[in-house]
Structures are given as C-alpha cells and as structure tokens.
Structure 1
Amino acid sequence: MEIVKLRHPYQPAEIPAGDCVLVLGFFDGVHRGHQEVINTGKKIAQEKNLKLAVMTFNQHPAVVFQKVQSTPIKYLSTLKQKEEQMAKLGVDLLYEVAFTSGFAALDPQTFVDQYIVGLHGKVAVSGFDYNFGKDQSADAKYLPKYAKDRFEVVTVAKKTEKNEKEKISSSRIRRLLSEGRLEEANHLLGYIYEVSGTVIHGEARGRTLGYPTANIQVPEDMNLPKEGVYVNQIKVGDQWYPAMGSIGHNDTFGPNRMLTVEINILDFDQEIYGEKVKVRWYHMLRGQVAFESVDGLVKQLEIDEQATRDYFN
C-alpha cells in the first residue's frame, strides 16, 4: 500500500498517476461500518479495474472546528494503526490529508475539485453521514451536485446490527469501552481492541506482590477502556502473550495517584523496559477496588489470574 501525505495546498505532482475509486471518511477505529464502506469501494475498483484509494485525515476535524476544547479528543486508533487496518483491507493508495484551518476553509465545490477530481477519483464512495466543505456544511447527498458528472457517486447506507436502529459508529464504540463492555465493542470493531505504548519503569510494587507488571505508557489521546481489571494479550517483539491488565490509580496504596496501565504477563520472566508493545483488550473481569489490606489484594489477584487462564482455555 502506498501512503501519500498531503498538506493544503498540495502540488499536482504529489498525486500518483492513474484513476481510482476514492473512498472518503475519517475512519477512526476502522470499525465494521467503515469496513463496509471500504469494501464497497474495493468491489467497484475490482469491477472497473481501478486502484482503490482512501482519503483520511491526520487528526480529527474537531481539533480545528471546536472553539473551546471542552473534552479532550480520544482516538480508537493511531494513524499507524489505521494504516495497518487499511493495508489488511486491500487499499492500494492511502491519502493522509493534514486537517488544518486552510483545508477546513475550503468551500464544498473547491473541496470536490481539488480533493476528489484532483486525486483522479472516477468513483467517490462514502458513508451516508459523510460531511465536507467549510464548517462541514455539505453532506453526502450533495456530492452529485458538486461532481458535475465528472465522477460517479456511491453512498453506503447506515450499517446496524440485527434488530437495532443505532448505527455502528466510533462514538458508540467509545461509549461501550467507557462502560467496560469489551465484547460488544470488539464485535462492532470486527477485531480485538488494541492500544500501543512503551514499557516504562513504575513503582515495581507488583513484583513484591508476586505479580510483576509491565507499565505501559499509552499516548494521552488514545481511548482506554473503563478503569478495571481485564483479560489481555500483549505483543512483545513478534510474539503475543496471554496477560491480565489493570487500568486504575492503585487506590489500595493511597489516594490521588496517577492513572496507570499495568500488564501482568502470564508465565513470563524478561526485562522489557523500553520495548514498544501492543495490548489487546478482550474481557473485563471486574472494576477497580480499594482493598483494606495487601493480603486481600493478593487473594483477588490470584482469582483474577485463574479467571484469565480459564478465559484463554
């Protein structure tokens, strides 16, 4: 897959030659609703013998549009993770457009002229709720008007679960994660939710309890599940290991502590400080509890460990 990073205004020479089917969207998390849109584009590209291209942004449009950042923007996927998912879906060409004030100020017609026609799109594919142009003032139903018969427009309908009205969406998945409903979130994603980070030094308290943990420094703008104890896998190097993880403040050891992500890797005894790792989140075992004693915490960890092993068995 070829990746082309664009910053407005781009130079025509930056655009690879050849016509394409261009799929439009931000695609945070590249969930099953997004996959439906991209696979629709893929099918058309195969039928027309064209390249499959996707245009996304380097950051959420809200970074530019929100006047006051009342709540921090949290992502389901980093740009790197998005690239990995796009490659798995068979995308030939990924445009990553810098969402800046200059780009956001484009009126709908200029956006279409420069970022659909200018990218050699012969078919534009988007979800039903795609917005574009200054202040995101136009939506998918207006695309044919601005296309002026220069390209075909295909709009993919809302994707829902059976007997449900609510669409599969990034915001819905974020809500499920915040409630610890991992199985439901993973089902809507179409894969196991994953975060990346670096193993850093912690207080080494877990080692004294018989449960040494890898403390994971996760990017601040990544969406973490609800505070609690989880069944996980962690990828160190090229290998995935079963693990149990904790997101919390270690309240047993005092108030007002920093939020940490700690992973106890089952049957593992290696120093991995500085390693870039990936963590998958399968199932929430329980919420966080401030135990009255360290002994009470250790007994619960033993129960959690057995539950983790049973899950994988």
Structure 2
Amino acid sequence: MTDIIKLHYPIQNDVEPMQQVVAMGFFDGVHQGHQSVIRHAKREAEKRHVPLAVLTYDPHPIVAFKMLTQPLRYLTPLDQKIELMSVLGVDRVYVMRFTSALANLSAQQFVDEILMHLNPVAVVAGFDHLYGPAHTNSDMTHLQGYAGKRFEAITVPKCSLDDQKIGSSRIRKLLDDGDVDEAAKQLARIHTTTGMIVHGEARGRELGFPTANIQTPEQEWLPGIGIYAVKIEIAGQWFIGMASIGRNVTFGDNRPVTVEINILNFHNEVYGEAVKVAWYHRLRGEVKFNNAEELIEQLIKDQTATQQYFETLEE
C-alpha cells in the first residue's frame, strides 16, 4: 500500500521521515522514461535498504507561469499516476501543491527547504528535470553542489524510442493526432480514460448500432477525433467496442464533441456506470456521409475491422 502525503510550501512538518531514496518529477503519463527513473530509484532504495518515495506536484506547474486558455488536462490524473507508481514499487508519494511561492524558490532553497524535509539518502531524477526557475542552474548537473554531502544526486539518462526522446509532450501530440498505437509504445501500456455512461440522443440505437455515451472528466486527455477499436470496463468486466470521438457531422454542423461506444455483443442497460476505456487502435477519421444508409454501411465495416483487430491481437 502506497502512502500518500500532501505537502504545501512552507512545509509545516516537524517530524522528519526515516531516511529514504526520493525520485522527483511531475511524471505525467508515467511513460517509459518516467518508469526508468522510478525503477532506477527503486534499485537504489533496495541497495540501501530504505523505502522509495516520489516527490511530485499538483496541479501542473504551468498554472504558476501562464494564463490558461483551456482546461488543464493530464495523461494521468493524480489518482491514476499514484496507482501506476504503486505498481512500480513506490512506498510513499509526496504530492506538493504547486504554487507561485514554490515556483519562486531558488535551486538552493528548494534543496534546503523542500528536499531536506524528506530526509533523502539519494535523490533521483531524469536528465532534463528542473527544480527551480529556468536558466538559474537548477538542473541535475548542479544538484550535487546544492546537496553538499547531505545526499547523493543521481541522474537517469534520456530514454529513447526510434531515436527520439520519449516525453509527455510527444505523447500528448500523438494522442491529439489519434495515433494511439504509437502512444502506447511510448507509455508501455494502452492509454486509458475514465467516465460515466449517460443518456445521449439514441441515434445509434435508431441506426441499429446502440452506443454507450461516455461523459469523460474534463481533466483527462482524450485522443483526437476519429473512430477507434477499444475495450471498455463496466463493473469489473472488459468488453470489446468501437468508439467514436467526434461531432456526428452527418447529422449537422457545429455539434459538440461526444464519446460514443458501440459495445459488441452487449445489450444491457448500464446508465450511471463508471467505466474505463482503453484506446487500442484508430480505425479511421470522422467522415460526413450523405445519408444514414451510407453511415450504416461504414459502421458494418468498422465493426468487422474492430473484431479482426482484436482477433489478430490475441493471436
């Protein structure tokens, strides 16, 4: 069981924890690069016979530096991020509230007033991690100098795939482009979102392809508009489906974006159920058809393509 400890600067914590290895970073996505950092830190903790802690932040640091023009979205909202870290063997997660006061700390202040409260024997982070204002020597090459002899600073090198750095920004772009297959390689898992099944327009039922309409939390990062082969978890059981993220352009212009999933061989009423959606493969983009008959013809092809995709995957 991973302990979760929320922190706010200045830290009002008079009782220091036992010595521990601390991995630090925002870790949105907990992708292959992040996993490399955490696994490296886990090995250090086991070698030194101490627990492994992660220092992360909430909300995203961008809130302290920019006016937001759209809602904050995450590859892995905090609860999912902690869940993934727990699987990687993290004993304790410190969630530091990211505020202007924290952002304005110098690198030396961050070490003295934040890290030292965590009683680290070693601090581990990725090669490009910053812990103070940009352009102020707050990178990993200077951390040992700020630490002195109080803890060891350990830098984990870049993690690459196909000669490109694995990073959260690239994964967000891949998802926006609908390339969930490549995003899965970067994440080392299938990208998932959550939601609740709500009533829609029932147009899919009229077409012979009833859909579960998914109300997705605003903070979660949905893939771009398109048709996808997915799996959906309802009440602990996974089902295969074909999902549409789009505006249903065949039935009018300027419609809102919706998430609708036709669950194959499923006929139960499940309104109000909390679900998880795993985005496996993009089948095609959204198309404006001339009439409902053309749309139905395409949906039959999409259904076959979805079945074939998962049959091939299982093989």
Q: TM-score, normalised by structure 2?
A: 0.95
Q: Is the 2:11–2:114 contact (alpha carbons within 8 Å) kept by the matching residues of 1?
A: no
Matched, 1:49 2:49: yes
Q: 1:194 touches 1:281 (CA, 8 Å); kept in 2?
A: yes
1:175-234 Cα shifts (integer Å, max 9, x gaps): 111222221110010000001112121111111111111111112232221210000001
Q: Are 1:57 and 1:99, in contact at CA under 8 Å, matched by a contact in 2?
A: yes
**Comparing 178-187 with 285-294, which one deviates more in the overlay?**
178-187
Q: 1:41 offset after TM fit, Å?
A: 0.1
1:46: Cα distance to partner?
0.6
- How far has the Cα of 1:71 moved from its partner? 5.4
CA distance in 2, matches of 1:215, 1:9: 44
3-state SS, counterpart of residue 12 of structure 1: coil
Q: For the residues of structure 2 that align with 1:103 and 1:272, how far apart are their CA atoms?
A: 44
The letter of the residue matching 2:132 is G
The equivalent of 1:216 in structure 2 is 214
Say how many residue pairs are matched.
309
> Which is worse superposed, 105-114 or 181-190?
105-114
User: Does 1:275 find its partner at 2:273?
Assistant: yes
Superposition pairs for residues 103-252 of structure 1, below 5 Å?
103-134=102-133, 137=136, 138-162=138-162, 164=163, 166-252=164-250
Give the equivalent residue in structure 2 for 1:88: 87
Contact 2:71 2:218 in 1 (8 A): no
Structure 2 distance, partners of 1:121, 1:45, is 10
Q: Quote the RMSD (CA, aligned, Å).
A: 1.4
The alpha-carbon deviation at position 96 of structure 1 amounts to 0.8
Aligned 8 A contact 2:199 2:213 in 1: yes
Whole-Å separation in 1 of the counterparts to 2:152 and 2:44: 11
Maintained 8 Å contact 1:200/1:273: yes
Counterpart Cα distance in 1 of 2:127 and 2:294: 52
Q: Which runs of 5+ in 2 are unaligned?
A: none
Deviates more, 1:2-11 or 1:293-302: 2-11
Partners of 1:105 and 1:135 within 8 A in 2: no
Distance 1:136 1:237 in 2: 49
SS in 2 for 1:289: coil
Letter of the 1:281 partner, please give it: W
Q: Give, in whole Å, the separation in 2 of the partners of 1:214 and 1:107.
A: 50
Supply the AA of the counterpart residue of 2:7: L
Give the Cα–Cα distance (whole angstroms) in 2 for the partners of residues 13 and 274 of structure 1: 45
Shift of 1:72: 4.7
> Which residue number in structure 2 is paired with residue 75 of structure 1?
74
SS in 1 for 2:241: strand
Measure how far apart 1:136 and its partner are: 7.5
In terms of mean alpha carbon deviation, does 114-123 or 277-286 score higher? Answer: 114-123
In structure 2, the residue corresponding to 1:172 is in which secondary structure?
helix
The alignment's TM-score, normalised by the length of structure 1, stands at 0.95
2:230 partner amino acid? N
SS at match of 1:91: coil
Corresponding letter in the other structure for 1:225:
P
Cα 1:14/1:215, change in 2 over 3 Å: farther
Cα distance in 1 for residues equivalent to 2:271 and 2:6: 32
**What is the CA-CA distance between 1:260 and the residue it aligns to?**
0.5
Distance 2:103 2:135 in 1: 8
Instruction: Return the offset for 1:135.
Output: 5.3
After TM superposition, give the deviation of residue 117 of structure 1 in Å.
Answer: 1.3
Change (3 A) 1:14 1:194: farther
* 8 Å Cα contact 1:65/1:135 also seen in 2: no
Task: Give the distance between the partners of 2:139 and 2:242, measured in 1 at CA.
Answer: 44
- Residues 285 and 304 in structure 1, CA contact (< 8 A), matched pair in contact too: yes
Structure 1: gaps spanning 5 or more residues: none
Distance in structure 1 (CA, Å) of the matches to 2:117 and 2:135: 19
